Amino acid sequence: MEGLIPESLDEALEALSERKFIPIAGGTDLMVRYKRWKNLPPSFPSLPLFIGHIAELSGIEKKDDEIVIKAATLLSEIEQSPLVPSILRKAISQMAAPGIRNMGTIGGNIVNSSPAGDTLPPLYVLDAKVVLLSKNERRCLFIYDFITGPGKNQRRDDELLYEVRFKVPKHTHEMYRKVGTRKANALSKLSVAALASSRDGKIDDFRIGFGAVAPTPVRVKSIEEKVKSRHVSELSDDFINEIVNEYGEWIKPIDDQRSTALYRKTVALRLLRAFLLQLKPV
Ligand X SMILES: Cc1cc2nc3c(=O)[nH]c(=O)nc-3n(C[C@H](O)[C@H](O)[C@H](O)COP(=O)(O)OP(=O)(O)OC[C@H]3O[C@@H](n4cnc5c(N)ncnc54)[C@H](O)[C@@H]3O)c2cc1C
**Distance (Å, whole) CA 156 – CA 18:** 13
Which one, 132 or 203, has the nearer CB to ligand X?
132
274 touches, from ligand X, another protein, none (C-beta below 5 to 8 Å by class): another protein
Of 118 and 205, nearer to ligand X (C-beta) is: 118
Could you say which residues in the range 10-69 bind another protein, by CB under 8 A? 32, 37-38, 40
Contacts with another protein, 261-280, as mask; x by CB under 8 A = -xx--xx--xx--x------
The listed partner (ligand X, another protein, none) that binds 107, CB under 5 to 8 Å by sort, is ligand X
Measured at the alpha carbon of residue 160, what is the angle toward residues 36 and 212, in degrees to the nearest 5?
Answer: 65
For position 22 contacting ligand X by CB under 6 A, the verdict is yes
Q: Could you give the 3-state DSSP secondary structure of residue 124?
A: helix
- In the three-class reduction of DSSP (H, G, I as helix; E, B as strand; rest coil), residue 177 is classed as strand
Spatial distance between the Cα atoms of 21 and 243, rounded to a whole number of angstroms: 45
> Which residue in 23, 85, 115, 209 binds ligand X (CB under 6 A)?
23
Please classify residue 237 by burial: count the beta carbons closer than 10 Å to its beta carbon, then call 0-12 exposed, 13-18 middle and 19+ buried: exposed
What does the radius of gyration of the chain's CA atoms come to, in whole angstroms?
20
Q: Which of 8, 46, 86, 185 binds another protein (CB under 8 A)?
A: 185
Interacting partner of 211 out of ligand X, another protein, none (Cβ under 5 to 8 A depending on kind): none
Among 90, 189, 207, 265, binds another protein (CB under 8 A): 189
- Tell me if 88 contacts ligand X by CB under 6 A: no
Render 134-174 in DSSP notation, one character per residue: -SS-EEEEEHHHHEEETTEES--TT-EEEEEEEEPP--SEE
CA distance 265 to 245: 11
Point out which residues bind another protein (CB under 8 A). Answer: 32, 37-38, 40, 97, 177, 179, 181-186, 189, 257-260, 262-263, 266-267, 270-271, 274
